Structure 1
């Protein structure tokens, strides 16, 4: 228990910000951040079409990646295999269940296919990328339900619960923990682990408002975070589920699987990452919290040209592959290696 607490109190810090990553941060600070700030100040709710999802169809994926459509009961998803990665028919009995980010309002399978393909390659595992239902059409509880159906689909393909890692970025990090909790509560078994990239884990904005990063984030102004909370609560109320949704930081955690959390050092969501890591290890659950120096929200998606992103995906791959050792030996793999420099892992992906 003491080792777990030490890990949470002293997270791994990956020092250094390349020119590419600094340019990315500068670009977001002067485009996305002010646009979100304007949206938050509107006296009414407006949700533009998910244009970015349609435009992302033109983006290339990791070389050699294959994917096919999977129809879940209430949403479309896709089964993706990076180059050289086999599925259960080829003898690979491990898989990843992935949830894209986008604040439960935007993005989808197209925007995240490149990131998912790199995670598949680094982890040497196929991925079910879930195109879950989102606000303003459906509440977050339906997003979680779609994630549970994704887990059920993997079980139907022959994967065991303990061979499935659940992962996601931003809002998808919320879903990764929520779906893991739901699966355990259903008695389906404990997943192999959870990977959360820049996760939103607490819709109560108080902790973020009082955090040192409240006004340092290059992507999200604080008023946009508060607006998202209001939108989600109103959506719940309209659907008659107010008071029934529990955020990941407030869930029972003692029986959760090992987790890895990635967060940029100046992200407003650092408050959520720190709180979740501390609550996990206090419950006796190993959590590898990695803080990346001056990296932006979900910088891993920029792996094509940001070296720190490639290094971070390498870390994710190492963690996910190490979960197989836990199943085989009953031990819990926790990263104890020194933080890598971005250049050291850049050639891996």
Structure 2
């Protein structure tokens, strides 16, 4: 099926505006300010959404977090969403529309920790912050079977790194994980980093090594906590992994899906043709992104206890764009 005209326009805008900017900007502080302003302007919070800043505490550790929920939410189910941004930019405010939309469609209250960004806070500080957030949910009484985990890009890799770390610590893992275009290998061994350098309309592949070095601060890129493609996920809950065939992180997603499946995990792999990196961020602007959001919501509702589905009007809004790969068309 042909892409929508909105998708075609979005690809052109990303390639000749955003990607060129990302290829030349030098200071992380500059790109953070621009990204925050641009994403908050382009993607406002959905209607009838509530959000409030708070603090998640686990023992002596604490992390600031943004709570987001739709009008109707279940009291016992929660979505821990980790925002993307290559570990150097982004915030809960830039991704609140995505977490909020998932909250609307699943009835889960969403929480987004403000984890430390590189280079000021290199690995493992971001992982420590999201581990604090998850432990805080457990200490607050949430049953792991009622917790869903999700993230996009670096946030997707961070979510998977968290799952590996939970296994190392012997802590109960959440019910399932949903990741969009996850960055799972900071050793940069995925062939698509080179093969798709000319087709990725958002990420400048020529700068990925520079960004990787900011994130690691000289630490081992093969550590499964930061490169979960090398991790142990035996006994982990089901995974939904979405990516684009034309992005540089395509093989990061595919290789992780293969590793998790090889360890006995249930994996739903959904590879879309020629769409931008982290497609769900563009929900309500391109119809293809809306379809991925519905698939992710269906996955979360199927595996997290205490969720509920959208009303009849929401079901009618599902798009005709069902070109994704192994996930297949919606029911």
Unaligned stretches of 5+ residues in structure 1? 1-14, 40-44, 327-338
Does residue 281 of structure 1 match 2:261? yes
Q: Deviation string for 1:51-85 (max 9, x for gaps)?
A: 13256555531111112212134532111111222
Does residue 84 of structure 1 match 2:72? yes
Of 21, 24, 33, which aligns to 1:35?
A: 21
Secondary structure at the counterpart of residue 167 of structure 1: strand
Of 42, 45, 51, which aligns to 1:67?
A: 51
Does residue 157 of structure 1 match 2:140? yes
Partner of 2:327: none
Q: CA deviation at 1:16?
A: 4.0
Q: Deviation string for 1:64-110 (max 9, x for gaps)?
A: 11122121345321111112223x2xxxx221111000001111011
Secondary structure at the counterpart of residue 62 of structure 1: coil
Contact 2:55 2:64 in 1 (8 A): yes
Secondary structure at the counterpart of residue 185 of structure 2: coil
Contact 1:65 1:81 in 2 (8 A): yes
Partner of 2:172: 189
Q: Deviation string for 1:278-316 (max 9, x for gaps)?
A: 111111111111012221011211112211111110000
- How many positions carry a matched residue from both structures? 305
Secondary structure at the counterpart of residue 341 of structure 1: coil
Does residue 25 of structure 1 match 2:11? yes
Partner of 1:47: 28
Q: CA deviation at 1:187?
A: 2.1
Partner of 1:295: 275
Secondary structure at the counterpart of residue 117 of structure 2: coil
Does residue 341 of structure 1 match 2:320? yes
Does residue 199 of structure 1 match 2:199? no
Does residue 245 of structure 1 match 2:223? yes
Partner of 1:147: 130
Q: Cα gap change, 1:74/1:325 in structure 2, threshold over 3 Å: closer, same or farther?
A: closer
Moved more, 194-203 or 292-301: 292-301
Secondary structure at the counterpart of residue 8 of structure 2: helix
Q: Cα gap change, 1:267/1:343 in structure 2, threshold over 3 Å: closer, same or farther?
A: closer
Contact 2:145 2:305 in 1 (8 A): no
In 2, Cα distance between equivalents of 1:242 and 1:273: 20
Moved more, 74-83 or 311-320: 74-83
Secondary structure at the counterpart of residue 170 of structure 2: coil
Of 248, 255, 261, which aligns to 1:268?
A: 248
TM-score, normalised on structure 1? Answer: 0.80
Partner of 2:234: 254
Runs of 4+ in 1 over 3 A off after TM superposition: 54-59, 72-75, 208-212, 241-245
Contact 1:141 1:245 in 2 (8 A): no
Q: Deviation string for 1:205-235 (max 9, x for gaps)?
A: 23235664242111113212222223233x2
Of 292, 299, 311, which aligns to 2:291?
A: 311
Moved more, 222-231 or 24-33: 222-231
Moved more, 308-317 or 213-222: 213-222
Cα RMSD of the aligned pairs, angstroms, is 2.6
